[in-house]
Amino acid sequence: MSFDPEFADPTEWAKMYRGLGLQVVPAMRPSEHKTQWKRPALPKWRELEHELAPDFTFERWYGDNGEHARRYNMGLIAGACSSGVFVVDLDLHKNVRAQAWWDEMSHIQMSAGELDTVEQATGGGGVQLFFRAPLGWIPPTCKTSIGVDIRGQGGFAMLPPSMHESGTPYRWREGREPWSLEIAPAPRWLCDQITILAQEHGGSTGTTSTPAQRTTSPGTSTDSFGRIVDGREEHMTKMVWARVVQEYRESPIMPGQAEQDEMLRELFSKYERAAKSRIVERGTPNHILLEREGRGITLFKQKWKHAFDQWDGKVKDHAGAPPPQKERPQQSSAGQQAGQAEAEHKGEADAEDPAAEFREDFNLYELLSVTAIKNLPDPDWLAFGMIIDRGLGFLFGPPGCGKSFIAQNLALSIACGLDEWWGRKISRKGPVIYISSEGVGDIKFRLQAWETHMQVKADDAPFYLIRQTINFMLDTDVNKLLLTINTLCEQLGELPVMIVVDTVSRVLPGADENLQKDMTLFIKACDEVRETFGATVVGVHHTSRQGNMRGSTVFDGAGDFLFGIERDEGDMIGTMTAKKIKAAQDGWKQSFELKEVALGDIKATKSLVAISCEQQAKEKSALPPKDVCRRILSDISTAWHSGKPWSSMPQTKAKGRYAPALIRARHDVAEKVAELLIKTWLETSVLTYTMCDKSTKMQGLQVTGSID
């Protein structure tokens, strides 16, 4: 790590600590509190005990012109928020019993070097050593009567370059600085000794003996989706061992490293789907949270290597393999082999390691009384009465019906922070991610057309396009998507509000849309994205020849909202039908129009934008100004004298003579308003509907009055 402590300012110190995954926070100065200054200079710092503060919070403290950018006193909140780091505080200068205890620890480890870790000298003359707690052990936070204090979960310790009340700064021991030496993982024996220490000498004041309390976990338990939350290491061990044993049964010739790596990736992907992290942190993919708990890829690789190290020993004995074959047989799917190994050799694996035997654990379901049911929170809406917040839904229709224009209109309205969309109140605004690998060539024109029509500039809006093809059937692609979105969240300091998949068929290459098994995997991938980021997921999908949403009925069942889009060929007016809305009335229809908008560039580029007819009529409900009305009447008169009169009859749309449509196109007046205008003028004799040409018997509108 490139860091110069001699010239670093508080911001650089804080960023160095944060880069190590430590929860560094501004701390009080001795001058700010005479007796209790060794604590964070924050009003609600206890809220920061469980996870690392988001980037935008850290920037508020230590960014450019941050609130604490000039405050040299800072400290560490220990425990889960700092990747399991805890502190052993030794008052060696005050208490000989502290020195004796540490000497005993050093004697136990002898020359193993397990206690070589980051170390600092406190301003008061003490010594503090930093360790990372192993998974499954929560270090206590307590003072003891022998001068050894433990700053565990929720504990706080001052950090260099803080100044002590003695006038001496905290400083790192030479060669044991965090930029020179990694914080060592605490060996299990040290954890046991700390537990004994807390039980025998612990107490919040250092005088009262208060045993540390440790919680136990059941052998195995799952969440509501059937994913393992307790017993994950045991499950991992069984998967790895069964897979390696099965591989030996296929052939006693050890596979090469490349083949091992491929098998490991496939098996870990299966494990990651089956296991769930206990850490609740929206915006962070499950595999990253598992790794932070010590139940991720690092531990998986260790178990994998350990199993292959016993290839000619325990693996061979367990497999009861036949004599070596000259050639390795062709591999079957790693996922299939792993599943077969787990099923066929479960008993043998258990016999090999009796401690790994799963225990049945029956969790009780929650029971809600009538009163509790009434007190349940109301459903949240992204677009009131239409789009359920953090839900999954679909816009579907035949090709060319305008469904993508509608989806893009909704997405841009949310990203640009508009208050309404098509007359529906938008309750949550923020980042939107649009996944589309088709039609991206003209999406910039569609965006500009929306800006022009809405008179909104979207350049700084958090609207992001992913144009690469993503396969929602592959865990690797889904994990890459989760990681991509998570990286964006870290940059923005907020989670996405909506993620659009346009179209569904493009993210299902090779899958059978009519096969329930395949579509269940797709829905699971959508749920993973939705649950990870707390976002609404909208899929844009096609219809079948029968007019229904294409594919398995899984879509209908999984969707919280379904909207069918219809538009006749050649007609710019279409209909959106609410086929299904959970927690709200459905069955209603809403008309929309695909309006052509000139972008005003030198190429005279035009594009379409989807707008609500009802909303457009509402926005332009007043009759046009008189000068516009005069120009409209002039156009009607010119058409009459040219022998091609405009008509008020809807059936003349196909011939291009329908007056309301022509008024809309030429004078930017809503068609419904134009219809009202024509009707009013006919009633007041400003216009007359009469025969224009006796030979052809063509009829149309003639100007016969004045609006003055």
Residues 557, 528, single domain; the answer is yes
Whether residue 481 is found in the same domain as residue 571: yes
Tens digit of each residue's pLDDT (9 = 90 or more) over 431-457: 999 999 876 778 999 999 999 988 899
SS (H, E, C) 621-664: CCCCCHHHHHHHHHHHHHHHHCCCCCECCHHHHHHCCEHHHHHH
Q: Is residue 602 located within the same domain as residue 545? A: yes
Q: Assess whether 387 and 502 both reside in one domain.
A: yes
Q: Can you give the pLDDT at residue 550?
A: 86
> Rounded to an integer, what distance in angstroms lies between the CA atom of residue 697 and that of residue 691?
6
Amino acid 318 reads H
pLDDT of residue 203: 52
For 213, residues 6+ apart whose C-beta sits below 8 A from its C-beta are none
For 365-384, how does the pLDDT look when each residue is reduced to its tens digit (9 = 90+)?
Answer: 667 788 878 776 677 899 99
Q: For residue 207, is pLDDT > 60?
A: no
- Residue 299, pLDDT > 90, answer no
pLDDT of residue 139 exceeding 70, the answer is: yes
Domain of 102 in residue numbering reads as 10-203
Maximum Cα–Cα distance across the chain: 121
pLDDT score recorded for residue 439: 67
**Range 9-15 average pLDDT:** 94
Name the least confident of 111-120, 237-246, 322-331, 392-401: 322-331
Element (H, E) at 501: strand 498-502
Nearest-CA neighbor of 134 among 233, 242, 252? 233
586 and 658 together in one domain: no
Lowest-pLDDT choice from 22-31, 286-295, 576-585: 286-295
Q: Stretch 665-670: mean pLDDT, rounded?
A: 87
Q: What is the CB neighbour count within 10 angstroms for residue 87? A: 23
Which residues 6+ apart lie within 8 Å of 15 measured at CB? Answer: 62
Q: Do 191 and 86 fall within a single domain? A: yes
Closest C-alpha to 87, from 74, 78, 99: 78
Question: How many helices and strands (H and E) does the chain possess?
Answer: 21, 28
> Quick one: pLDDT at residue 357?
31
| 344 falls within a domain | yes
Q: What is the rounded distance in angstroms from the CA atom of residue 405 to the CA atom of residue 447? A: 10
**How high is the pLDDT of residue 327?**
47
What span, in angstroms and rounded, lies between the C-alpha atoms of 485 and 433?
A: 8
As a whole number of Å, the end-to-end CA separation of the chain is: 81
Would residue 366 count as lying in a domain? no
- My answer on whether 608 and 481 are in the same domain is yes
Residues 466 and 554 in one domain: yes
Pair 309, 348 in one domain = yes
Pairing of strands 561-567, 536-542: unpaired
Beta 392-397 vs 536-542: how paired, if at all?
A: parallel
Residue 340 is predicted with a pLDDT of: 45
CATH of the domain at 436: 3.40.50.300
The pLDDT of residue 366 is 65
Measured CA to CA, the distance from residue 464 to residue 435 in angstroms comes to 9
Two tokens at 248? 């030996």
Distance of CA 104 to the CA centre of its chain: 48
Helix (H) or strand (E) holding 678: helix 671-683
| CA nearest to 274, candidates 219, 218, 339, 344 | 339
Q: Where are the alpha helices (DSSP H) in 493-569?
A: 516-533, 554-558
pLDDT digits (tens, 9 = 90+) for 97-106: 888 899 888 8
Does 628 lie in the same domain as 577? no
Same domain? 571 vs 674: no
Are 617 and 672 spatial neighbours (Cβ–Cβ below 8 Å)? yes
> Has residue 216 been placed in a domain?
no
d(CA 275, CA 264): 16
Which residue type is seen at 156?
F
Residue 113 lies in a domain: yes
Backbone angles phi, psi at 279, to 5 degrees: -75, 125
Q: What is the pLDDT of residues 40-62, one digit of tens each?
A: 988 778 888 888 888 888 988 99
Least confident span in 320-334, 519-533, 611-625: 320-334
**For residues 480-507, average pLDDT:** 90
Q: Does 154 share its domain with 236?
A: no
> How far, in Å, CA of 443 to CA of 461, rounded?
16
Task: Compute the C-alpha angle 223/225/226, nearest 5°.
Answer: 70
Polymer length in residues for the chain: 708
Evaluate if residue 561 carries a pLDDT over 90: yes
When pLDDT is cut at 50, 70 and 90, the band that residue 651 belongs to is: confident
- Indicate the residue among 340, 356, 372 that finishes a domain: 356
- Reported as a single tens digit per residue, the pLDDT across 314-363 is 888 888 744 444 444 444 443 444 344 344 333 333 333 333 332 333 34
**Per-residue pLDDT, 339:** 42
Helix (H, G, I), strand (E, B) or coil at 247: helix
Q: Would you say residue 362 lies in a domain?
A: no
Count CA within 13 A, CB hemisphere, residue 688: 9
Percent of the chain with pLDDT over 70: 87
Contact 9, 161 (CB under 8 A): no
Q: What is the pLDDT of residue 391?
A: 92
Which pLDDT tens digit goes with each residue over 151-190?
A: 998 899 999 999 998 889 999 999 999 998 999 999 888 9
Last residue of a domain, one of 203, 236, 255: 203
In a domain, 214, yes or no: no
d(CA 116, CA 183): 9
Please check whether residue 372 lies inside any domain of the structure: no
Average pLDDT, the chain: 83
Q: Are 659 and 646 in contact (CB under 8 A)?
A: yes
- Report residue 615's pLDDT band, with 50, 70 and 90 as the boundaries: low
pLDDT of 289 above 50:
yes
Supply the pLDDT for residue 536.
95
Supply the DSSP string of 191-221, one letter for each residue: HHHHHHHHHHHEESSSSS--PPP-----S-E
Last residue in a domain, options 573, 596, 616: 616
pLDDT band at 398 (very low <50, low <70, confident <90, very high): very high
**φ, ψ for residue 565, nearest 5 deg:** -110, 130
User: Is 388 in contact with 582 (CB distance < 8 Å)?
Assistant: yes
Q: Is the peptide bond before 503 cis (omega within 30 degrees of 0)?
A: yes
pLDDT tens for residues 255-269? 988 889 889 988 998
User: Residue 695 above 90 pLDDT?
Assistant: no
Q: Is residue 608 part of a domain?
A: yes
Integer CA distances (angstroms), 108 to 130, 445, 662, in order: 18, 71, 92
In angstroms, the CA 278 to CA 275 distance is 10
- 3-class DSSP state of 104: helix
pTM: 0.46
Number of domains in the chain: 4
**Angle separating helix axes 232-250 and 257-274, nearest 10 degrees:** 140
